[in-house]
Structure 1
């Protein structure tokens, strides 16, 4: 889920630019049913029974509901003594996609129980022609919001304005 999903992290941009060190943004259709089944595809899988992890490598794509995440490497950590996923750690260039919204970053950590995705390293969030960049973004999948931190920059395309002469 982390490679392609992170490509453009679903959000509805602010009506004005985010100029401060942190910015709260609506995340549009990014609300997610964190209890939905998780589907993982990859080129390789290594399971470690002793520490309760599964390492997926090579063209990893994870899907949960409408959300998709893609990355070269995803470590899945299972809840201790249970058969359910606790969190997923994606690295190597992550893309998160939901509908026409997407986000990209160097790394992403998805905590299933809390319903949060923390993306770090050159975060790029796009929605249509609009874009936001920062160093860190925390997405709350329960309420469909995101908090961007670390020199936030926003580009909002206004269109042509229809004033051709």
Structure 2
């Protein structure tokens, strides 16, 4: 998927380094109302605070999006029926058919369709890469913003 023109302009203006860059994430207009399937080695549920913790080889799938991590803490909505937020940590990878993003942690807020990845973020889009400290993805419109001393590598003809 192509990076938004602003990202290219920022990259050309400063030799592959910028403070913030806008990106497109796989052209994915994720339907955040789709079911969320979670698989893991272990599940702990705390009815007192409305959370569940999945640990060990966690795989979360919603539509075409796939998230993997060592641990995912699920926060339920006040009604206790719907998932409100997922907190992933430990080797987080979010991918769809075209793009992938890695980070130390990620928080996915289901209703807003927002995923915030933090800590040594690496976005790969085909042969091109972008790195920074924080990537905020809007899955409803397939866009994102990378922040924190952004470094990009564009491959001519590969974007």
TM-score by length of 1: 0.86
Cα distance, 1:100 vs structure 2: 2.1
Cα distance, 1:12 vs structure 2: 3.0
Q: Give runs of ≥4 in structure 1 deviating > 6 Å.
A: none
Match of 2:21 in 1: 23
5+ residue gaps, structure 2: none
Match of 1:96 in 2: 94
Cα distance, 1:14 vs structure 2: 4.2
Deviations 1:91-126 (A, max 9, x none): 011000010210000000000011100000000000
Matched residues in 1 for 2:133 and 2:43: separation? Answer: 30
Contact kept in structure 2, 1:102 and 1:125, CA below 8 Å: yes
5+ residue gaps, structure 1: 1-10, 161-165
1:13 to 3, 19, 23: 3
Contact kept in structure 1, 2:26 and 2:96, CA below 8 Å: no
Matched residues in 1 for 2:138 and 2:155: separation? Answer: 26
- How many residues are paired up? 150
Q: Secondary structure, in 3 states, of the residue corresponding to 1:51?
A: coil
Match of 1:60 in 2: 58
Cα distance, 1:27 vs structure 2: 1.9
Matched residues in 2 for 1:29 and 1:68: separation? Answer: 15
Match of 1:156 in 2: 154
Q: Secondary structure, in 3 states, of the residue corresponding to 1:45?
A: strand
Match of 2:85 in 1: 87
Contact kept in structure 2, 1:123 and 1:136, CA below 8 Å: yes
TM-score by length of 2: 0.89
Q: Secondary structure, in 3 states, of the residue corresponding to 1:30?
A: coil
Tell me the C-alpha RMSD between the 2 structures.
Answer: 1.6
1:115 to 113, 116, 121: 113
Q: Which moved more, 1:48-57 or 1:15-24?
A: 15-24
Match of 1:74 in 2: 72
Matched residues in 2 for 1:122 and 1:128: separation? Answer: 19
